[in-house]
Amino acid sequence: MHNQVMTHLGDGGRIMMTKDEIAEDIIRGTNDASDRAQIPSLTKEEREQLLDIFCEPGRIVSVSPGEEVVVTDDSCSMTYYADQENSGMGIPMSRPTAILNWERAACGDTCCMGHNDFSYKPAKAVIHYEANEYYSTSQTTTIPMFYGSQPNMGLYFRPDGPFDNPAELLPIGKIDEARQAQLDAKQQLKSDLVYIGKELNQVGCEAMNFDTSGSAGDADMAAALEAVRELKKIAPNMYMELGMASEFVLGMHGKIFFEDTRLAGLYPHQLVKVAEAAGVDIFGPTVNVNTTETTPWNLSRSVTMVKATAEVANIPIHPNVGMGVCGVPLYEVPPIGAVTRASKSLVQIGMADGL
């Protein structure tokens, strides 16, 4: 076991690696990110810094005093009362109580309320209930309180929604019909996001989080960006966070633009500039995790893309560090050693402003 370092696979499984093996995976990971996103690889010094973080003997690692960052979340307080579907603990507890626990027991820097489905479409149907509970809870919270959910355009297609399903149209060659269905859904989604934002602004909503934007592709991302732009005009003091669903915008349509930029295929360092133009206040880059690769490979890849994003961003960036993104293994109880190493390296090397 001499010279062996304990780390994890991307699926959370514990493995032992030599220092040389970790160094090799760090090189492979950063080069993969460089090739895919057309960005610089980590420097020799940065790779050595990342290697040192992996080789720290402690089970848990952290940044040095003075380097701490702000944490925003996608309704982490929901995990108190939700079930396995939301990686929840199933405690019989109300949503406002969970949020106050998050503020005063977990000591979050910010907190977030969201619909249990964590999608905006079902939230729209009960928006007055949601707005009422947001209002009453925001009277008791001291830390900034977001209302968050996912744009989740997939819910707008049959059988869940009114529009033809592109996933059914594309395999049978109905390309134009699939594109039109996405444009129709995009318009409805944008309209719903703006409607919900207006309702929440009426009750003094402090901030909104468009979490996992682009999960249904470029039309989904366009709806979120257009909604942000419109809401910033209507409610300039309701601050907006937008996070990605995957490391590049999926081109399910392929020809959708925001202003002059085609959205399909944009990596975080490119999308952040579009987000800035839309009026986003905090941007959440995402980097996918490969479950069959090691955490050194995955995290090296993630740090490379996040660093490239931080270097061009004029707004704060909070990389997503949930399970299965930005180096955190895809497992519903993520190993704490991998989570804390992801946090430390994304801050120290990736220059993240938050997590």
Partner 1 sequence: MGSAMGGLRTTGDLVAWMQMSRKMKINDAKQYVAKKLGVEVIDLTDEEKMLELREELDIGTIISMSGGSKGIQAKCKIAKLLDIEINSVNLFKANIRDFI
Q: Which residues contact 284 (CB under 8 A, 6 or more apart)?
A: 72, 211, 241, 242, 243, 244, 317, 318, 319, 320
Q: Which is nearer to partner 1, 4 or 202 (CB)?
A: 202
Smallest separation, CB 202 to partner 1 (Å): 8
For 111, phi then psi, to 5°, come to: -135, 170
The residue type found at 42 is L
Query: How near is the Cβ of 6 to partner 1 at its closest, in Å?
Result: 18
Residue closer to partner 1, measured from CB, 37 or 238 = 238
Closest distance of CB 222 from partner 1, Å: 22
* Dist. CA 5–CA 55, nearest whole Å: 6
CB of 205 to partner 1, least distance (A): 6
Q: How far is CA 201 from the centre of its chain?
A: 23
Q: How far is the CB of 288 from partner 1 (least distance, A)?
A: 22
Q: Where do we find the tokens 């402690």?
A: 58
* C-beta closer to partner 1: residue 69 or 155: 69
C-alpha span between 32 and 298 (Å, rounded): 10
Could you tell me the smallest distance in angstroms from the CB atom of residue 21 to partner 1? 26
- Let me know: does 288 contact 9? Beta carbons within 8 Å: no
Rounded least distance, CB 8 to partner 1, Å: 17
| CA-based radius of gyration for the chain | 20
Mind giving me the DSSP string for 236-277? Answer: TTSEEEEEESSSS---SSS--EETTEE-TT--HHHHHHHHHH
Q: How far apart are CA 140 and CA 209, in angstroms?
A: 20
For partner 1, the closer CB: 26 or 352: 352
Distance, CA of 8 to CA of 303 (rounded, Å):
17
User: Residue 318 and residue 347: Cα distance in Å, rounded?
Assistant: 10
Nearer to partner 1, 201 or 320 (CB): 201
Smaller CB separation from partner 1, 34 or 62? 62
Please state the closest distance from residue 167 (CB atom) to partner 1, in A.
Answer: 36
**Phi then psi dihedrals of residue 208, to 5 deg:** -120, 150
Given the rule CB under 8 A, which residues bind partner 1?
A: 60-63, 65-72, 103-104, 106-110, 138-145, 201, 203-207, 235, 237-239, 241, 281-282, 313-316, 340, 343-344, 347, 352-355
Kindly tell me which of 42 and 76 has the beta carbon lying closer to partner 1.
Answer: 76
In angstroms, rounded to a whole number, what is the distance separating the alpha carbons of residues 286 and 266?
A: 12
Cβ proximity to partner 1, 138 vs 152, nearer residue: 138
Neighbours of 14 (CB within 10 A): 12
